[in-house]
Amino acid sequence: MLRFLILACAFSAINAATECGQPAIDPTEMSTAIVGGQPAKANSWPWMTEVIKNGYHYCGATLIDNEWIVSAAHCFDDDLTNAVHEFSVGGHKSANDGGKSEWRRQTFTARKIILHEGYTKNGNGNDIAMIKLNGQVQYNDYASPACLATSRPSNGVDAYVTGWGALEYKGDSPDVLHQVNVPIVSQDACKSAYGRTRIDSTMICAGLKQGGKDSCQGDSGGPLVVKTKAGFNSYEWTLVGVVSWGSGCADPGYYGVYSDVSYFNDWIKDTMARN
């Protein structure tokens, strides 16, 4: 117990000293697996992590500490022993399109991949995983952590999803990182769309009732972030969701479903402290 408290305090001290959610480039200053979005400015989402499986883009993830990333459990629920997973921070191009040679990239393997103990392949809940990297990310303008949500964002708040996933259902994937903004929707609205038994307290939903904007195949595990006030005239980007599942991609009448980071906040910190 004492060891856990010491580690927890050390974790808090490290995070207090490290500015999270502070991109060097404003990602929202735009002219216009992400459906209905647009190419992101290079390195404007410095916590965006690419999960590369056997040499190819597979999922997304989020850097939250210099040794830890958060992703979706379903990205790792099979073939953990035979697949070769790499985790790349600081890139803009997809690994499928020459991204692995980008000089800004820092690429690691996993020291540990920890799936939430409540996750099962047959269910949608608890779809979250923690990956401890085999080295430390060197923070710079191209690689820095997102902040962790401690509470669920209000309904209607604009959130952003980023990824290298398909641009339409079962369609082609882009060669560079894409982004799209989607509003947070209420649990009642999401339950009305999917049925009350499919949406639980581990999930948060975002999107438009008319469809047209969403994450898609290949975006799984990636970040849903919101810009939150951090003090007088200062803001930070906070990780509120992990791309999990949905009906197709941007289908009318349905929303994107994400693992609720505020719900898992204690589990995330506990996992880091114990490992």
- The residues annotated with a catalytic role in the active site are 74, 127, 220
144: helix, strand or coil: coil
- Whether residue 43 contacts residue 25, with contact meaning beta carbons closer than 8 Å, is answered with yes
Q: In angstroms, rounded to a whole number, what is the distance separating the alpha carbons of residues 204 and 259?
A: 6
Measured between its terminal Cα atoms, the distance across the chain in Å is: 14
Handedness of CA 15, 200, 59, 115 (dihedral sign): positive
* Residue 114 phi, psi dihedral angles, 5° rounding: -120, 110
At 165, is the secondary structure helix, strand, or coil? Answer: coil
3-state helix, strand, coil in the chain (%, to 5): 15, 35, 50
Q: Of 219, 217, 188, 180, nearest to 205 (Cα)?
A: 188
Q: Residues 76, 81, 87, CA angle at the centre, nearest 5°?
A: 50
Q: Within its chain, how far is the Cα of 240 from the centroid?
A: 9
Angle of the 2-17 helix axis to the 265-274 helix axis, nearest 10: 110
- The CA distance from 266 to 275, in Å, is 14
